[in-house]
A and B are shown apart, each in its own frame.
Chain A
Amino acid sequence: MAEFEALLEIADDHLILGHRISEWCGHAPMLEEDLALPNMGLDLIGTARTLYDHAGKLEGKGRSEDDLAYLRDEREYRNCLLVERPNEDFAHTMLRQFYFAAFMRPYWLAALDSTDETVRGVAGKAEKEMAYHIRHAGEWVIRMGDGTDESAARMRDAVEALHIYVDELFDSSDAAQEAEAAGVLPLRDALRTTWDRTVAEVFAEALLAQPEAAYAQRGGRQGIHNETLGHLLAEMQVVHRAHPGARW
């Protein structure tokens, strides 16, 4: 059961961030980004699907990926707070992506040694995708940080707004700790140095001050979210829930 819950946490992270990214589709600052953003969204949603499917099987109650995605309320969602933050602007969006990918890349690399075969399979694919997300989003952080006065100010705002959500990435819930002890999932805590290094390198090039969070905002893993998540879920789940039992 611990593995089920721990997988759900990561699956939720990926689905919610993928959903957020997909909100940009057709509205990006340039056509190239109208193609790049859905690419990243597809990577994330793809990973979420495999993890939900696997979690559902481990749970053994016959819940499908869609049951898990569409029929849980916000208090049951276990994603970290970072991924549910609204898109705001391109600076927030790219920084959020960069922070998340800078965490997930080493996470999946470590998960290549998981005792769970499905997790290893996901890790093999996702590690490469996250390397791309780090590169793509990281380049934008650099361009915006060291671009115009306006873009630099917006990047600083984004750092200010999002940095408080970083620490939660490195927390392991009770379920995650059990899965880590069993060798199914990597130790989150151990990834901090790599994350710090990735971010420091990009921030140096972006001429952004190394961030310090005034405090750490947590709660997602206990289902204590920001108010925005409920709206995201309401939109995401509305059609599915309006037709109980239907096949799509």
Chain B
Amino acid sequence: MYSQGLIGADGRTEETPEFLARFQQRIDAEEKIEPKDEMPEGYRRTLVRQIGQHAHSEIVGMLPEGNWITRAPSLRRKAALLAKVQDEGGHGLYLYSAAETLGVSREEMTEELLSGKAKYSSIFNYPTLNWADMGTIGWLVDGAAIMNQIPLCRCSFGPYARAMIRVCKEESFHQRQGYEIVMTLAQGTPGQKAMAQDSLNRWWWPSLMMFGPHDADSQHSDQSMAWKIKRFTNDELRQKFIDATVPQAEYLGLALPDPDLKWNEEKGGYDHGPIDWDEFWRVVKGHGPMARDRIKARKKAWEDGAWVREAALAHAEKRRARKIAAE
């Protein structure tokens, strides 16, 4: 357990105005906050929630792509996809470790995911329906994740920032690899090109929703900005993503499914049509087409694996006992 000796972990921090001002000063001076440092309870809770959600997203995110490993149409793609999904699991592992420095265990976080108490990115509640989705997810979903995560490399909480530096390198590799898959299809047979277009039609809007609600409707933003957990607003990041992606789609000769998408000279960025926030909230609340199946799959893995984890513990215990007996 890491929680012992952690100031703030049990809510014992005395949050006097002086304490909070001192903390804010450290943040403003761009000092990294480390696990053993004093921190306001709200800061700790926000990070536990955010890092936990991020970790869960990596883990649940293994499922939609895992769905195509056994059907990948070439051995090269099969190996690359397997490696990609494995990377996502690795991201989950670093992130759980970063969250553990704040006094929550991986088991506790896993229980919260399985009980539905903890959230994960709702993008993973959409189904993967053709091979092109393996390209589109890399290109758009990993692409959007990078937009969100590059600023997190400078997050005020040291372990999270450091985990993000490592994760972002791999995510940008995934993004390029995904784009290359879509490009191969876009330049392929009519059937392949249709597959790519269908995939883009399905993933474009959900990708834009990955940045979260419009700034005016976002509840956690202000405090997170002040604490430098977050450095850009949802709308700023979404705009960057759109501006980067539109030319990429044009280059592929694929159409983005938004008739209102057009360049706005004045703001130096693209305008886009209205996002269907009703759908967003439906999916966030777990009404997405795949929400039940995703959690069911994670539960099944966890429950089916229980005897294996118990065996590992029992064996370690036996070894320990034998070693003591031998001494």
Contact of B69 among A22, A31, A150, A248 (CB under 8 A): A22
Q: A29-B301, A42-B79 are in contact. Are A243 and B311 (CB under 8 A)?
A: no
Contact B75 A34 (CB under 8 A): no
How far, in angstroms, from A26 to B314 measured CA to CA in the complex?
Answer: 24
A142 in contact with B308 (CB, 8 Å) = no
Query: Once the chains bind, are A48 and B75 in contact (CB under 8 Å)?
Result: yes
**B59 interface residue, CB < 8 Å from A?**
yes
Judge whether B70 and A23 touch: CB under 8 Å: yes
The answer to whether residues A25 and B86 also contact, given A236-B70, A239-B71, A246-B189 and a CB cut-off of 8 A, is yes
Q: Taking chain A's interface residues, is the majority helix, strand, or loop, or is none over half, making it mixed?
A: helix
* 3 shortest interchain CB distances as A-B pairs: A29-B305, A147-B311, A151-B311
Among A90, A142, A154, the residue within 8 A (CB) of B315 is: A142
CB < 8 Å: which of B59, B63, B312 contacts A31? B59
- With an 8 A cutoff between CB atoms, is B131 at the interface? yes
Q: Which residues of B contact A (CB under 8 A)?
A: 59, 62-63, 66, 69-79, 82-83, 85-86, 89-90, 92-93, 96, 106, 131, 184, 188-189, 191-192, 297, 300-301, 304-312, 314-315, 318
Shortest B197–chain A CB gap in Å is 15
CB atoms of A26 and B301 under 8 A apart:
yes
CB pair B82–A31 under 8 Å, yes or no, is no
Cross-chain contact of A41 among B62, B82, B306 (Cβ < 8 A): B82
Q: Are A42 and B191 in contact (CB under 8 A)?
A: no
- Residue of A at shortest CB range from B69? A22
B297 contacts which chain A residues (CB < 8 A)?
26-27
Asked if A136 is an interface residue, CB under 8 A from chain B, the answer is: no
Smallest distance from the beta carbon of A84 to chain B beta carbons, Å? 14
A176 at the interface (CB under 8 A from B): no
Beta-carbon contact of A26 and B85 below 8 Å: yes
CA–CA, A94 and B160, complex, Å: 34
Q: Is the CB of A143 within 8 A of B82?
A: no
CA distance A243 to B305 in the complex (A): 38
Docked complex Cα distance between A90 and B306 (Å): 11
A25-51 to B contact mask, C-beta < 8 Å, 1/0? 111111110110011011001101100
Q: List 14 A-B contacts (CB under 8 A).
A: A19-B70, A22-B70, A22-B78, A26-B89, A31-B93, A34-B89, A42-B86, A45-B79, A46-B79, A52-B75, A143-B312, A146-B315, A239-B131, A245-B189
Q: Which of B78, B188, B301 has the most CB of A within 10 A?
A: B78
